[in-house]
Chains A and B, each alone.
Chain A
Amino acid sequence: MTANGMPASTIASSAPCAPPTGNLVPLLHEIRHALTRWLEQGEEHVIDLRSIPLAPGEEDSLLEQLGEGEVNARLSITGPSDIIETRYPAVWLITHYNENESIIGRFIEICEVPGILKSQADDIRAGLERLEDQLSNAETRA
């Protein structure tokens, strides 16, 4: 067992038959509890999928179970972000990509609308300024 005795086969060895961590079902229950809490108290909840050890393939299986619902939005902000409402209303899957379209963060949010989807006051202010500039420019030109 030396380093140079290491064949290429080891490189592809892990993915297909990784053992399940058993974290999938508890995760779905956490979502269920969060939905109940939202209905009863209006409490929002965020789960960071990076913080939970998942075996290769388990995350895909989770996404498959959550499925895709009615909303699918793509943000263009320093690399895209996908905001998808899953098959279960108020369960949102938020995936942040970098500019090479590699995933840099993945969250599940339980809320009516994820905060990042809403227009932000600072951006609205900056946008308003731009519009006003544009109008005043148009007026001077006219």
Chain B
Amino acid sequence: MSKDKTLGETLQERGVSRRSFLKFCATTASMMALPPAMIPVIAATLEKLRRPSVIWLSFQECTGCTESLTRSHSATIEDLIFDTISLDYHHTLQAASGSAAEHAREEAMQENYGNYILVVDGSIPGENNGYSTIAGISNKAMLLEVAAGAAAIVAVGSCAAFGGIPKADPNPTGAVSVSDLIKDKPIVNIPGCPPIPAVITGVLVQFLTFGLPELDQLGRPAAFYGNSIHDRCYRRPFYDKGLFADSFDDEGAKKGWCLFKLGCKGPTTYNACATTKWNDGTSFPIEAGHPCLGCSEPDFWDAGSFYKALSTPTEDIGKTAVYAGAAGLIAGAALGASLRARKQSAVKNHERVTIDDLDQES
């Protein structure tokens, strides 16, 4: 398949009907939460698109993000996505290995310098480069080299976007996110552990169709991360009515009440799970009866227990109160004793109360 042909021409050559393409555009628009009126615009733009080169780098990761993407629900439709891009390097998916693989990367970089899209999954180790290398090149060196020629960077997964699990306390490798290292390129973060497959492809299509999407404060595309899980949750009415499950097998849990008390991080988690859902739109964690872990938020691994309510303190407050009481007893006793002594001496010396004494603040 030539890179000079437009996507429309390529699809036609391959006997993909116009109806199939329209269906792809309609489901993609739906996935991207775009109004149906945008469907013709997507169709027109994608049709004229020339396949951009994509280099995919995997650093400190578990391959869960790639698994999520390649097992996304509608194989044929996602094939179309892969047809719209030219995935020139992805060391897990590509057939080539060893120096041939690295050669493919260098070639793709040279040919498309300044124009290719760099996709990254996994975090990058900090101080000690030995924690993770590919073909003898440290993750950091490879990222900096490939990023230099990229038109834009897409950080897939919470590790690439925020450091993720490798960065979790005590962060043994000194892991950092892509945006910690690269400051001079547009970066789109697609966090999640893993991200919803439809969101990965959706962002890629959105990026190819409309360019850099509207990003929030954390560099996430607003189309997918604009609403919190809580705001779009079908169990929200129970939260409003004050009906909560107290344990995983009580009456409330069986009736499908709100999981806030069981530690649901839905109120502070921005993602599309509640609407796009998982596994062919079958369900999402809360629908399956489990609280949201907040996996698409920064530092989700360290955000207190998964099963501790969001409103509660993360440290042991009861113990703090007891220590504080003990400290207060000692300090208070000392203060009280000195005041008492002062009072007694005042009585003994017949000191007079002045207007200033009465006007004291406390």
Contact = CB atoms under 8 A, between A and B. Distances in A.
Q: Do chains A and B touch in the complex (CB under 8 A)?
A: yes
A13 B254 CA distance: 5
Interface residues of A, number: 47
Given A53-B234, A96-B23, A116-B19, A5 B287 contact: no
B73 interface: yes
Interface string A57-79: 00000000000000000010111
B231 to A, nearest CB: 9
Interface in B29-61: 29-31, 33, 35-37, 39
Contacts, number: 147
B275 interface: yes
Contacts of B23: 75, 77-78, 81, 96, 105, 116
A59 to B, nearest CB: 11
A106 to B, nearest CB: 8
A99 B75 contact: yes
Nearest to B33: A51
Given A53-B234, A105-B30, A107-B30, A6 B290 contact: yes
Interface of A: 1-3, 5-7, 9-11, 13-15, 17-21, 46-48, 50-51, 53-56, 75, 77-79, 81, 96, 98-100, 102-105, 107, 115-116, 120-123, 126
Contacts of A19: 234-235, 237-238, 256
A98 B22 CA distance: 14
B interface majority secondary structure: helix
Contacts of B73: 98, 100, 102, 104
Contact of B18 (A3, A6, A17, A120): A120
B324 to A, nearest CB: 28
B289 interface: yes
Contacts of B76: 78-79, 98-99
Interface of B: 12, 16-20, 22-24, 26-27, 29-31, 33, 35-37, 39, 73-77, 80, 232, 234-235, 237-238, 247-249, 253-256, 262-263, 274-276, 280-282, 287-290, 306-307
A58 B2 CA distance: 47
A51 B288 CA distance: 21
14 contacts: A1-B247, A1-B262, A5-B249, A18-B235, A46-B37, A50-B30, A77-B23, A78-B20, A78-B23, A79-B77, A100-B74, A102-B73, A102-B74, A107-B30
Contacts of B253: 9-10, 13
A47 B30 CA distance: 10
A27 to B, nearest CB: 14
A126 B280 CA distance: 33
A54 B31 CA distance: 16
List the 5 shortest-distance A-B pairs measured between CB atoms, nearest first.
A10-B289, A98-B74, A46-B36, A120-B18, A102-B280
